[in-house]
Structure 1
Amino acid sequence: MASVCSNDKEEFLRVKPPTTSSEDSSVKADPYALQLDQLAAGIRRSIVLDEEVFEETFLRCMICRDRYEENVKIPKILPCHHSFCLPCLLQLYQSECTQSSSLRHSRSVGVGGAISFQCPSCRNSFMTSESHVIQLPTDHRVVQLLDFVRHTNTYTVNFCSKHHLQPLNFFCEPCIKPVCRDCTVLDHKERHGHMVMDVDEALKKYRPVLELAVTNMENEATSLLSKKGTLECMVKSIESNHDILMQQIKDAFRVIREALDTREHDLMEMTEQNISREKHRITSIVEKMEERQKAINKECVKLREALTDSNIEEMFNLHESLKKAAKNPIRVRELDDGLQTQLSFHSSLDLLLERIDNFGDIAAQVTMNSLTKETNASNSHLTSSDC
């Protein structure tokens, strides 16, 4: 592939490497002087060349490999006729100054002083200073080339990879590939089943088919873009549904927690009431036993006094009173019958945990949503393949 530079095309000039014969020593010294002279004289012609090689050879500094510019990367020509950009030459000069100063151990030579400077290409030496480097003549040949490239229209020509510099002007229909003139004679003969036509004719024949294919692909791309927007809206809807579901789950378990807290409070109150009632019953029995004990002790004291005083009447009265009290003893079931009230908590925890494990469900239901209906309606006029 090469570029064709055109100014009112009349003929092609293929750029070749400079000749090495002794008869053309001037061209050897300056390989593109003839072309520049012809262009300057106004000779109209088209140039077929490799644009990348041309730029690398003529339009780029050989040190930094940057393209020359008229204001920043100015091409400066050395006495040995090799050209480099001014920033690179100044940098090389400063490096030479630093090296020369360190070797001589002298401060008399520094940036701005005259030193021996070598060309990076041919290694020829010459004395120069920083001001002399700046004042080096500009390589106007490069400037003219830059101006020529800037003001010249270019277009791309494909060349045959098998036959040197033969443009691909034909198209082999069975092989589905562009071919050159030599290919039609050697490799793509009609008697061998090849059907070769002019590239323009092939473009005319296949352009409607390709345009239809492009239209279909563009329609499909538009449909895919619309579907992408619909799916993005669905993602937002799913995110909104996520928030709703999370809130519903939180509300349901909040109600369960409130019911559990209420039941916990009720059970604790029931426990307090039963414990308090049982404590009160036992405490009442203890109080009655204490009163009975005090009464017995008092009767015993009186009986002893009656025995001491030999008061027979008092003795019999007290004895009768003790017999009546003995007939109505205080009954304590925990002691007399061996019965004791014991409170316990029955939770049915396993059953409750099983029900909690199965509590609630997330159901998925497929429905026709409004976004899909709107998308199908908007894309009804498009022809596209299914996703």
Structure 2
Amino acid sequence: MHFFSDDKMASEITLFEDANEEFLTCSICKDIFKHPKQLKCMHNFCQDCLQPLMNEATSRKIKCPLCREEVELTVDTVADLEDNIFLSHLCELFLVANLNTVDVLCSFCSEALNEENASRCIDCSDNLCDKCAKTHTLTCLTRNHQVILMSELKTETLVRKSREGNVKIPCQKHSNNHLEYFCQTCQVPVCLGCTVVDHVRQNGHDLINLNDGPTKEKFKEQITEQLNKLEEIIPSFEKHIDIANETEKCLIKSLEKTKNDIRDTAKSLIDEIEAHTKSLIEKVDKKAEAIQKSLEHHREAAEIRVKSSTKINQFARNLCKHGLNSEIMSSAKDLLRRMKELQEGNMKDLEGTGELCFVRQDEFKFGVVKECKIIERDEYNLLEYYTEKAMAVGNIVKRGPNWPTGYDNYDNNGYNGQNTIQSIQRNGPNDIRATVYFQSGFNMECKMNPGDYWLQPSNTFANYQRRLKCYAEHFMKVGDEVKRGLNWPLGSNDSYDERGQKSGKITQVNQTQTGTTVTVDFGAPDNQTFECPMYNGCYYLLPLQNSFPLIDWVEF
């Protein structure tokens, strides 16, 4: 920020350009520092702004509002925190240089100052109105001080003199003394009183004058060296910011998609539940209807039995009581038979109690939400990973992407056979050989060095398949160079890649719900393209150069 006119002279310094308003602004109150206090993390805040943090602290620690680092307090009050004298002086000069936009008061009578009536004592750094400036030059203690108009405080010489006027910094331990020495043993500035009490030369403390030029330059060199190192690593922090921004974009995009998927799933489940509800209600209605009919039939049969038994009982009693011998003798046979039938014909008990209930089952599973996590990161491409970590004796293998010419009869033209690794010799990272017994009856020593890869697994071993799946779902992109991979289809498809000897480039990647289908251009002479699936074990392609982290979806 420039505070002076565009036609300022070359002698004017750039102090106010470096120490601009942003540099001198407290990040809490957003105003120019007032009594700036410095925390151990080297961040500065106004004394009054730190007071609430001190009041809220439950222990002798506060969190820096900027870096969130916990700073342990060695003092009891905010006023006892270390002053940042450098910032205090710069803030004072900033206010002086901006009289027309900020309020600056006379150090003695508190009159508001402006460029027309304001002066400054370079020797004691007091701001003075016209009246107090005249008095200041008349007293015996200050009559030799240099008092200038603030409007003239715009040249390098005068600003430097004004800065030097503030050079007397009071000692925090001995308030009546100023800092005059630097204890090289303790690496702190001290006053004359400190050299008598805590920093005594006779006790081994090495003291030098604060104005010692070589010592100041040594510290400036050390600070500059560390500053350069810090500036070198700032781009790495910025890179992490970029990564965070990209991750946030991915989060926002995937968040909306995930919400929509949840809503769609919920809707489909609601429709399915409603259909299932309707079906259950229909079933329970039919069941209840059948039970109701059974109850009615049972009740009707019981009522008939009651009526029959009652009528026969009444007839039998009257017959026995009032009937003639001939009447009794003629009815007795049939009456006894019927009464016996009623006694022996007991009704069957009803099955069930007539009670229905709904039993909940885990038939409808709503699903869970998962987060993509990197579980392993390395620099291997897929065949390097197989060679270094997964290849073992007994593996079933087939022709790899760099199978040498003239050996087609060894592996049945590269189809999925039963070619078995007999032995592996790992002489070093660039000399790995495997002896293979081929289904055709031949034994052959095959290279598996970087760039050779005569072999690739015929079966999709669990971890190897996970890597292929991870590549297909998350990292496959247009431009990737590929060759024949696992489960390459039999037959006429051999012509596309000359039986594993030719690579192609992906021209299109189509992600669907069922998986990934890619289009590969195998180039001249026919510029043939072939659509290849890369899902559910049908990994028709193998990336040649790609290395990528292995990721997984974990429930949170």
* Structures share fold, TM-score greater than 0.5: no
| Bucket of the pairwise TM-score, normalised by the shorter protein | 0.3 to 0.5
TM-score calculated relative to the size of structure 1: 0.38
Structure with larger Rg: 1
